[in-house]
């Protein structure tokens, strides 16, 4: 769960608890919650300028895809497993959503596309 007013993850015990998703590339395995919660949650974040800059989703569902399109958040889906193994928190990535390609740019994180 993310607070739309701040963009901060407020779900207790979540790996990102206390961190902001605003203007970040958000990497996560799949959507969580009902379709209304997912779509409205992204919309509420966008209204307050707290939406992620882009989303990298391992297993996207139709609700997240449709929400990303409507709201205008670039999204990449089903990257090679090597990407998820090499990615570290706070890595700098370059995203080409049209080509479904992501390159890890930060030298401390390795490189994968």
Q: Which ranges of 13-80 would DSSP assign to H, the alpha helix?
A: 35-47, 62-71
Q: Which of 86, 81, 26, 82 is nearest to 52 (CA)?
A: 26
Which residues 6+ apart lie within 8 Å of 35 measured at CB? 63
What is the length of the chain? Answer: 113
Annotated catalytic, 107?
no
Q: What is the spatial distance between Cα 60 and Cα 101, in angstroms, rounded to a whole number?
A: 15
Mean pLDDT of the chain: 85
The pTM score is 0.82
Do residues 55 and 93 touch, judged by C-beta distance below 8 A? no
Given this model, what pLDDT does residue 40 score? 86
21: pLDDT confidence band, cut at 50, 70 and 90? Answer: very high
pLDDT in tens, 43-96: 999 999 999 999 999 888 888 888 889 899 999 988 888 888 888 777 888 898
First-to-final CA distance of the chain: 30
Least confident interval from 5-9, 11-15, 20-24, 109-113:
109-113
Catalytic residue (choose from 20, 34, 67, 108): 34
Specify burial of residue 97 (Cβ count, 10 A radius: 0-12, 13-18, 19+): middle
Q: What is the spatial distance between Cα 76 and Cα 44, in angstroms, rounded to a whole number?
A: 21
């Amino acid at each position: 769960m993310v607070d739309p007013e701040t963009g901060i993850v407020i779900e207790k015990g979540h790996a990102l608890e206390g961190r902001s998703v605003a203007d970040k590339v958000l990497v996560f395995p799949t959507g969580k919650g009902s379709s209304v919660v997912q779509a409205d949650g992204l919309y509420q974040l966008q209204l307050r300028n707290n939406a992620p800059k882009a989303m990298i989703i391992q297993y996207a569902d139709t609700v997240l895809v449709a929400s990303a399109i409507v709201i205008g958040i670039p999204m990449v889906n089903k990257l090679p497993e090597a990407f998820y193994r090499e990615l570290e928190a706070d890595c700098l990535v370059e995203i080409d959503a049209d080509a479904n390609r992501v390159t890890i740019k930060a030298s401390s994180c390795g490189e994968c596309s």
